[in-house]
């Protein structure tokens, strides 16, 4: 699957889980914590949602907010798992 499609579909999942976010306007390089108020629970919901969407699996140790600075980091980790 190409990177653009992974990014677009990831953002759709993220928008479903965090409805305050607009997939069309979200700044994927901005800080998850400071700019989007993502917390230790909502990041796990996002990662579990991405697992279901892309049929990948995150290690238990990867289910942590401090592993990701931005949505770009989250999407990149999905890309790595898919490839």
Residue 63 φ/ψ, nearest 5 degrees: -85, 55
Closest separation in Å from C-beta 38 to another protein: 10
From 4-12, 23-31, 58-66, 74-82, span contacting another protein (CB under 8 A)? 58-66
How far is it, in rounded angstroms, from Cα 63 to Cα 4? 24
Among 20, 60, 80, 83, binds another protein (CB under 8 A): 60
Burial of 66 per CB tally in 10 Å (0-12, 13-18, 19+) = exposed
Tokens 């990701």 belong to 68
The answer to whether residue 1 forms part of the interface with another protein (CB under 8 A) is no
By CB under 8 A, the count of residues binding another protein is: 11
Residues that bind another protein (CB under 8 A): 39-42, 44-45, 48, 60-61, 63-64
């Amino acid at each position: 699957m190409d990177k653009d499609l992974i990014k677009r579909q990831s953002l759709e999942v993220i928008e479903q889980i965090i409805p305050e976010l607009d997939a069309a306007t979200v700044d994927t390089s901005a800080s998850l914590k400071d700019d989007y108020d993502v917390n230790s629970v909502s990041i796990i919901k996002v990662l579990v949602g991405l697992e279901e969407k892309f049929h990948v699996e995150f290690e238990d140790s990867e289910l942590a907010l401090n592993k990701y600075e931005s949505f770009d980091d989250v999407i990149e980790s999905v890309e790595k798992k898919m490839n």
